[in-house]
Amino acid sequence: MWELFKTFFHIGLFTFGGGYAMIPLIESKVVDEKRWIDREMLLDLIAIAQSCPGIFAVNIGIFIGYKLRRTPGALVCALGTSLPSFIIILVIALFFRHFRENEFVDRFFRGLRPAVVALIAAPVFKMGKRANITFQSVWIPVVAALLIWQFGVSPVYVILIAGLSGYAYGQYIKN
Partner 1 sequence: MILLYLKIFWTFFKIGLFGFGGGYAMISMIQAEVVSNHGWMTNGEFTDIVAISQSTPGPIGINSATYVGYTSVVNAGYSSLWGTLGSLIATFAVVLPSLILMLAISRFFMKYKNHPAVEHTFMGLRPAVVGLLAAAALLLMNAENFSAPGENPWQFFISVGLFLFAFIGQMVYKMNPVLLLVLCGISGLLLF
Residues numbered 110 to 139 that lie near partner 1 (CB under 8 A) are: 110-125, 127-128, 130-133, 137-138
* 55 Cβ neighbours under 8 A, 6+ residues apart: 19
Residues numbered 79 to 108 that lie near partner 1 (CB under 8 A) are: 81-82, 84-86, 88-90, 92-94, 96-97, 100, 104, 107-108
Taking the least distance from each CB to partner 1, the nearer of 33 and 105 is 105
19 near partner 1, judged by CB under 8 A: yes
Find the binder of partner 1 among 28, 50, 99, 102 (CB under 8 A): 50
Find the binder of partner 1 among 7, 8, 78, 80 (CB under 8 A): 78
* DSSP strands (E only) in the chain: none
Whole-number Å distance between alpha carbons of 42 and 27: 8
Q: How far is the CB of 142 from partner 1 (least distance, A)?
A: 7
69 near partner 1, judged by CB under 8 A: no
Whole-number Å distance between alpha carbons of 152 and 71: 39
* 133 Cβ neighbours under 8 A, 6+ residues apart: 140, 141
170 near partner 1, judged by CB under 8 A: yes
Taking the least distance from each CB to partner 1, the nearer of 7 and 59 is 59
Whole-number Å distance between alpha carbons of 101 and 79: 34
Residues numbered 24 to 43 that lie near partner 1 (CB under 8 A) are: none
Q: CA torsion, points 125, 24, 78, 164, in degrees to nearest 10?
A: 30
